[in-house]
Amino acid sequence: MMFTDLIFALGGMPGGGGEGGSGGMLGAMFPLILMFVIFYFLLIRPQQKKGKDQRLWLSSLKKGDKVVTSGGLHGQITGMTDTVVTLEIAPKIRIKVSRSAIAGPIGPEQPTTSSADDKQKD
């Protein structure tokens, strides 16, 4: 008796031709659809936007820009091709890195992390 109550609560007896046919299927799919929509707006879409912004920024690089690589090297761009960027990391010391290895700009938009500067301001 207990199992039949559970089966009716879950959508009807199998093959019984009850009321829970397509409505039960839609009701079961709704949470999955809702989860996908939430994941799209919270995870997938922001990641795609960030990637698009990074690609646009990499395509707008020019000589003289100061950048940091994903490996942590800071330098100034002295030459470029479609896939390779030449960085001057010290006077007369130049390295070639892949354009995709450039992580971001160095400049006033990046905060300084020096605690000595913070102590002098106070």
pLDDT tens digit sequence for 63-97: 999 999 999 999 999 999 999 999 999 999 999 99
User: Is it the case that residue 55 has pLDDT exceeding 80?
Assistant: yes
Q: Tokens 């690609």 map to which residue?
A: 55
Stretch 104-121: mean pLDDT:
56
What's residue 37's pLDDT? 92
What's residue 87's pLDDT? 96
Domains contained in the chain, number: 2
Whether residues 33 and 55 share a domain: the answer is: yes
Q: Is 97 a member of any domain?
A: yes
Q: How far apart are CA 43 and CA 122, in angstroms?
A: 40
Residue 10 token pair: 């879950």
Give me the domain span that covers residue 93.
Answer: 62-105
71: Cα within 13 Å, side-chain hemisphere: 10
Q: Which residues of 48-77 are buried (b: 16+ CB within 10 A; e: fewer)?
A: eeeeeeeeeeeeeeeeebebbbeeeeebeb
User: Is it the case that residue 111 has pLDDT exceeding 50?
Assistant: no
Stretch 1-6: mean pLDDT:
61
Q: Is 36 a member of any domain?
A: yes
> What percentage of the chain exceeds 70 in pLDDT?
69
- Tell me which DSSP letter residue 20 carries: -
Q: Is 112 a member of any domain?
A: no
